[in-house]
A and B are shown apart, each in its own frame.
Chain A
């Protein structure tokens, strides 16, 4: 019987410390991301470009969390935009109608979304595959319908306007300020996500993706971990939503709708599942792409749909992960 492992390779490779550090996601990858975020403004020509970058960053934050759920834990959510939207609306309602400070509103929104996610998680995550997809879809649609209908508090289809994000007198406004804020929040999210993945909690999540019963017999309470990752990803989406609402100055029910949820899942899958950086690549690509296609506006849905199908058929593991694989095999040859 042949082995697929090259057993002539020594088990432990001695490399220089620096190279070793660069190869690890936490130091190397995070460092690279920080470098990119720091240097990118040099390449951004105008406010429009900044706007795209900021939106890409916000989407990336949601996708890093969603990737924990879909890529690592192997679950699926077709309703995650609802959490994004709820965070946005929480900030909007609390700051505009009740004059809450922005930071408190953001925190409260995150907590409320966390509680909601916790309550629905256990029953929903008993489902698997297509059924789980449809349940999350149903939940997301119901939430977006409620946001659209209860206009006395949500402003209905027209949505809400928001004021600037103010923290103790300091106003968060202007493209550059928002860019750095989103950049920092993204870096923190990535750091937290990488920590989680390379820990007993992360291994438990990845294990239950492989086989739930296999994980259970070694003591992993799979239901508990599924709820945990669902809540974490929901809270991340809510925080991103709150920031988005203040940045854009408004929020509408569409931001919580089914199409937005589909976009988010596509970003995660397109970039590469089970890869934090892949999720970022996906988010950035699919935020920038519609802007590039503005000339083809009428054909945009067709192109988007074709990309979705094409990626899944030809590059099943996602763009980033497939590229990494290509580099690995090239290096080994």
Chain B
């Protein structure tokens, strides 16, 4: 009984770490531009698929990973530069169509460049399961947790201690105010996409040995990442991490104890619940309109 619970908990935390990374990607872009990037999931997909390709071409894993992250970052840059920047002050509906269009485009591109099959990435340090308190854990899960933690700490340092990071936060509080003190808004926007794309790619790569990857994995991962971000409070980094863990664990628990057919629905039920009852998320703050 307890070992089953622990099993679900471990897989939930592992998934949760990935959702946290995707959610962070959403939050970073949202902070810089108030845009919800529906293509976020595709960055995870690109990371995984590119790594598989490169490894297949004979590139050693240690080199393939940073290259794949770079590819994803460049895609993010292109997306920002050619789809988001031209849209500037468009309405919410317009921007949503643009990023959804971008995600469809990227998925189509992935189909053409790669194929429609599922691909496996070799696990980083073998597949011998580790026994923890009666439940088993894949070594890859430890990689997921370790890498995610490192990335999160790195982001915390970036936003808390560097000028560039603080400038990005400034934009999220007041675009005009940040502009007036000389923050280059456009560069912040582009950087946010590059950062989120890289982040997403890392998440996609590190989880690929566990969940396999294909051109379609981006959709669900992205949407669940969004669920994490909204749960934690859109724009709040710590919130995205918290949200990710909650969504991941909830999903694993519902798959284990309720019904595995409905496990995908968990994240969406969470989205609805948060939006109905706690629209600013766990750690977000209330805004108010001045009339």
B142 to chain A, nearest CB (A): 31
Which residues in chain A, 266-300, are within 8 Å of chain B measured between CB atoms? 266, 269, 273, 298-300
The verdict on B132 contacting chain A, using a C-beta distance below 8 Å, is: no
Known: A76-B92, A134-B271, A309-B102. A301 touches B108 (CB 8 A): yes
The answer to whether A129 and B108 have CB atoms under 8 Å apart is no
A93 to chain B, nearest CB (A): 19
The verdict on B153 contacting chain A, using a C-beta distance below 8 Å, is: no
Interface string of B241-280 (1 = CB under 8 A from A): 0000000000000000001011011001101100110010
Closest-by-CB residue of A relative to B261 is A149
Q: A146 to B98: give the CA distance in the assembly, Å.
A: 29
Known: A135-B275, A304-B104, A305-B105. A130 touches B291 (CB 8 A): no
B93 contacts which of A76, A124, A299 (Cβ < 8 Å)?
A76
The answer to whether B108 and A300 have CB atoms under 8 Å apart is yes
The answer to whether A308 and B271 have CB atoms under 8 Å apart is no
B254 to chain A, nearest CB (A): 12
The answer to whether B105 and A131 have CB atoms under 8 Å apart is no
The answer to whether B36 and A133 have CB atoms under 8 Å apart is yes
CB-CB under 8 A from A262, the residues of chain B are 100, 104
Q: A138 to B273: give the CA distance in the assembly, Å.
A: 10
CB-CB under 8 A from A229, the residues of chain B are none
The answer to whether B272 and A312 have CB atoms under 8 Å apart is no
The verdict on B223 contacting chain A, using a C-beta distance below 8 Å, is: yes
The verdict on B174 contacting chain A, using a C-beta distance below 8 Å, is: no
Q: A300 to B86: give the CA distance in the assembly, Å.
A: 24
The answer to whether B93 and A134 have CB atoms under 8 Å apart is no
Interface string of A76-90 (1 = CB under 8 A from B): 101000000000000
Which residues in chain B, 216-248, are within 8 Å of chain A measured between CB atoms? 219, 223, 226, 230
The verdict on B135 contacting chain A, using a C-beta distance below 8 Å, is: no
Closest-by-CB residue of A relative to B220 is A141
Categorize the interface residue count of chain B.
Answer: 35 or more
Known: A138-B271, A299-B112. A123 touches B104 (CB 8 A): no
The answer to whether B101 and A308 have CB atoms under 8 Å apart is yes
A151 to chain B, nearest CB (A): 9
The verdict on B61 contacting chain A, using a C-beta distance below 8 Å, is: no
CB-CB under 8 A from A234, the residues of chain B are none
B40 to chain A, nearest CB (A): 13
Closest-by-CB residue of A relative to B219 is A258
The answer to whether A138 and B268 have CB atoms under 8 Å apart is yes
A312 contacts which of B101, B268, B289 (Cβ < 8 Å)?
B101
The answer to whether B275 and A137 have CB atoms under 8 Å apart is no
A138 contacts which of B102, B104, B219, B272 (Cβ < 8 Å)?
B272
B101 contacts which of A146, A300, A305 (Cβ < 8 Å)?
A305
Known: A138-B271, A309-B98. A302 touches B265 (CB 8 A): no
The answer to whether B97 and A302 have CB atoms under 8 Å apart is no
Closest-by-CB residue of A relative to B34 is A130
The answer to whether A269 and B112 have CB atoms under 8 Å apart is no
The answer to whether A312 and B112 have CB atoms under 8 Å apart is no
The verdict on A103 contacting chain B, using a C-beta distance below 8 Å, is: no
A129 contacts which of B92, B261, B262, B271 (Cβ < 8 Å)?
B92
The answer to whether A265 and B109 have CB atoms under 8 Å apart is no
CB-CB under 8 A from A135, the residues of chain B are 271-272, 275-276
The verdict on B202 contacting chain A, using a C-beta distance below 8 Å, is: no
Known: A304-B104, A305-B102. A133 touches B92 (CB 8 A): yes
Closest-by-CB residue of A relative to B269 is A142
The answer to whether A139 and B272 have CB atoms under 8 Å apart is yes
CB-CB under 8 A from A138, the residues of chain B are 268-269, 271-272, 275
Q: What is the interface of chain B, defined by CB distance below 8 A to chain A? A: 36, 82-83, 86-87, 90, 92-98, 100-109, 111-112, 219, 223, 226, 230, 259, 261-262, 264-265, 268-269, 271-272, 275-276, 279, 289, 291
Extra contacts besides A265-B93, A301-B105 (14): CB < 8 Å: A76-B93, A137-B223, A138-B269, A138-B275, A141-B265, A142-B269, A142-B272, A145-B262, A269-B97, A304-B101, A304-B105, A305-B101, A309-B98, A312-B97
Q: What is the interface of chain A, defined by CB distance below 8 A to chain B? A: 70, 76, 78, 123-124, 127, 129-131, 133-135, 137-139, 141-142, 145-146, 149, 213, 258, 262, 265-266, 269, 273, 298-309, 311-313, 316
Give 3 nearest A-B pairs by CB, closest first: A305-B105, A308-B101, A301-B108
